[in-house]
Chains A and B, each alone.
Chain A
Amino acid sequence: MQKPYAITLTVGSSLANHTGSWRVEHPEYVHRMPPCNKACPAGENVQNWLYIAEDGSYEQAWRELIKENPFPAIMGRVCYHPCQTACNRGFLDESVGINSVERFLGDHALEKGWKIDPPAQETGLAVLVIGAGPAGLSAAYHLRRMGHQVVVRDATHQPGGMMRYGIPKYRLPREILDAEINRIKEMGIVFQLNTRVDDVHDALEEGFDAVFMAIGAQLSKRTYIPAGESARILDAIQVLHSFEDGQPPLLGRKVVVYGGGNTAVDVARTAKRLGAEEAIIVYRRTRDKAPANDEEIEEALEEGILIKWLSTVKYKGEDDMMIEKMELDEKGFPQPTGEFETLEADSLILALGQEVDFSLLGNNVDLDTKSGVMDVDSNMMTSHPGIFAGGDMVEGDRTVTTSIGHGKKAAKYIDAWLRQTVVEPKVEKEAVKFEDLNSWYYTDAPHAVRERLAATRRVYDFSEVVQGLDESTALYEARRCMSCGNCFECDNCFGVCPDNAIKKLGPGLGFEINLDYCKGCGICVSECPASAIEMVSDL
């Protein structure tokens, strides 16, 4: 080509100039641990299912959720949601209402009748699960998904364990419980109810390849209380159990519950619903030291339940009782003060904690226990090969969520034990901190509160107290998630690169760094709201 006067070079694009050669470090997309996921005792991938739900793909979100936990509708009601306590959004306005979105997904799935796919392949191996509580059912579900034959035995006539006999129905309606249990039953899990296992060793001889024990902790702890001849002293677990079986015990007009855990609160609220004029909880320490969940205490107070903090029971007579005031010493232990008070009380219900009933261990001594619970190794296996244990009967928080987590974990190790494989050790990742996020980009969007039944109406019946969210509110709540540590395609990196070195791959596919031009300035990392990009050295 004839070039104009004094022009010696042909004009070209700067794309020929690969500025990537200037760089000493470059950005990489990463998946970091969101605090909610890390806090979840059931090991749910919360951030991920919220992300999926955000565009209205509820079925896909639900399927992601049940990879870890088969009971979202139950969990969305009874879980004490440590995920929300850990949620980074709490530092901005209020934590994301993860629990309410979980309940929405769970209820939505029941409404739509979504089923769980049967296992793709049968392994021909059989596992016996003893106890149809949350740990046992969770283990059964995961083992069934892995293709094993599962038989669940329970001594009672209905499955659910403490979800049925411990948690009152105003917190967990039975039709929800039944529907979610029924759904896992349809996967081909065999339930043998009214079947008490007297000796776990017999099960192995029956031909099961492994056993998972999850019988819970059902023996109420006792304490000596001097009592008059006709004093009525009951045990909280038995009260809840017989009520569930349709034989509510006679409690009288004035009921006192002794204890500060969730069972104490549950039984007091149940007593009020059964018609007690007055239900009083007596606890020896203070509210902040009480093991009961604070939301539950709050709801109990709203319903007119009185709580005597810093008090112990000294004596129970026929229709009255005596309590002693306590005070905390420097170490935080309650000490008697010598001050007494008399309360009217037709009955006293003890809710002082529960112990494990070890009778099913049989007479053999090859199963170790430790401080009142089963001793299991890091694989949830007892000292007897092939016998695993979890839930309330081993060490850990005694909550439904923890039990569901135990069931899942045990299933993983039972599966590995059966297949003679080794489970890849889980790498503990640090959770993303609020300071890691670029919070500028998150606008304030306060928490959508779930409506509660008016307290006055609640105490007359067993209707569910906490209501669910409708779809638009659940969606709003899901979209409040800040997606800590994981890309949610906000396009910031793509927009802020001064060198146009980021390629947008399309919906769901994320982005790619064009290393030919990336100069390694790090603006994409600084401006990523979710802390999902990291600089990596090129040297």
Chain B
Amino acid sequence: MSTTQVKFYQVGSFAVGNRLLRDDERSVQSDPDRTNALTSGHRACQGCGEALGARYALDAAMRATNDQLIAVNATGCLEVFSTPYPESSWRVAWLHSLFGNAPAVATGVAAALKAKGNTTTRVVAQGGDGATVDIGLGPLSGMFERNDDVLYICYDNEAYMNTGVQRSGATPPAARTATTQAVGKQPGNLFGQGKYLPKIAMAHDIPYVATATIADLRDLEAKVERAMTMRGARYLHVLVPCPLGWGSASCDTIKIARLATQSGLFPVFEAINGEVVASSKIRKRVSVDEYLKLQARYSHLFSPQRNDEVIDHLQRIADKNIERYELMGE
């Protein structure tokens, strides 16, 4: 009799849950009693990736810390849509100060807890790519350099979405934003040198740096959980597509994040003390076209005709990521 070990369920480990899995094998999000750190009634757009990413990350952090968590938030969409005075969508202890100072405030919260002898309450700081890559980079670098006991989570939607889709340091080449119009010889954002924050964080040799997307919930939750087992400065960079700023269908938010990883444009990896230790392998490789086509911010690359030169350039970036982070293979 041929025997095969029963290890696959219909959906492997990629779905949120499955009735056939034991409770401890299920994701935090499949738990009907999850925190819902960011609850209903928030004013994010239809299909907001950032709202989803924030709930995924903070629910996992709440479970990892037995609900002993303080979240510090930078200015940005996440702050604005969740807390229009006097309402709040947050169901965690939550603090907001300025656009650029979230890492410094979080450092202060961690220092205060230490001064009070509280070793169980943990601190998370979070912000968008504008607050992280541009405006708060100085305080963030300081937080890393001092190795303050904070997990900083960046929800990267690749532009300043709250104020009307202006370019940020994290905006990818060729993307159209309000300030990088699809006109002229090099339409959309320029091919600059890039400002890839996970690598900047790794350059500080901090204990933990990881990237994730909302397309792989299990991976994101595992990384938050792992980060919470460590002390010192930790950094998690989460790709969160923005239907409004990227010009994509609201139902495609997760699909686009998935295509970003499967094309190689967004490498998903983990680094300990500045060294990459693991990367998520591509399951179904796609060309960058598949990813770009779904987004109006790249529509100028496909009409009136396909801009081979620019798309090839983007494909080379993806290919380089695949090689650098070893995204193919088992």
* B-binding residues in A (CB < 8 A): 9-19, 22, 54-55, 440-445, 448-449, 451, 467, 470, 472-473, 475-476, 479-483, 488-492, 494-501, 503-504, 506-508, 514, 516-517, 519-523, 525-527, 529
Q: How many residues of B contact A (CB 8 A)?
A: 57
| Residue contact A442 to B12, C-beta cutoff 8 Å | yes
* 29 interchain pairs, CB-CB under 8 A: A9-B86, A11-B88, A13-B39, A14-B87, A14-B88, A19-B43, A54-B20, A442-B10, A443-B11, A443-B13, A472-B4, A472-B6, A473-B2, A476-B8, A479-B20, A482-B10, A489-B18, A490-B17, A494-B16, A494-B29, A494-B30, A495-B30, A499-B40, A519-B45, A521-B250, A522-B47, A523-B47, A523-B250, A526-B251
How far is A116 from B87 in the complex, measured between Cα atoms in Å?
60
Residue of chain B at shortest CB distance from A447: B4
Residues in B with CB closer than 8 Å to A475 are 6
How far is A470 from B4 in the complex, measured between Cα atoms in Å?
10
| Residue contact A440 to B52, C-beta cutoff 8 Å | no
Stretch at the interface among B126-134, B189-197, B253-261, B308-316: B253-261
Measured between C-beta atoms, what is the minimum distance from A474 to chain B in Å?
10
| Residue contact B20 to A12, C-beta cutoff 8 Å | no
Residue of chain B at shortest CB distance from A497: B52
Does any Cβ of A come within 8 Å of B32's Cβ?
Answer: yes
- Select B11's contact among A501, A514, A520, A529, beta carbons within 8 Å: A529
Residues in A with CB closer than 8 Å to B45 are 519
Q: Known contacts being A442-B10, A476-B8, A507-B19, is A14 close to B251, with CB within 8 Å?
A: no
Does any Cβ of A come within 8 Å of B89's Cβ?
Answer: yes
Residue of chain A at shortest CB distance from B255: A526
Q: Known contacts being A494-B16, A526-B251, is A517 close to B85, with CB within 8 Å?
A: no
| Residue contact B20 to A443, C-beta cutoff 8 Å | no
Q: Known contacts being A473-B1, A500-B36, A526-B255, is A13 close to B11, with CB within 8 Å?
A: no
Q: Known contacts being A467-B1, A521-B253, is A480 close to B10, with CB within 8 Å?
A: yes
| Residue contact A522 to B1, C-beta cutoff 8 Å | no
Give the 10 A-B residue pairs with the shortest CB-CB distance, closest first. A443-B12, A491-B17, A495-B16, A522-B251, A14-B41, A521-B47, A445-B8, A495-B29, A517-B40, A9-B86
- Interface residues as binary, B34-56 with A (CB distance below 8 Å gives 1, 0 otherwise): 00101111111111110110010
| Residue contact B27 to A441, C-beta cutoff 8 Å | no
Q: Known contacts being A440-B14, A526-B251, is A55 close to B19, with CB within 8 Å?
A: yes
| Residue contact A15 to B41, C-beta cutoff 8 Å | yes
How far is A503 from B32 in the complex, measured between Cα atoms in Å?
8
**Contact residues, B41-86 vs A (CB, 8 A):** 41-49, 51-52, 55, 82, 85-86
Does any Cβ of A come within 8 Å of B206's Cβ?
Answer: no
Residues in A with CB closer than 8 Å to B14 are 440-441, 443
| Residue contact A504 to B36, C-beta cutoff 8 Å | no
Residues in B with CB closer than 8 Å to A16 are 41, 87
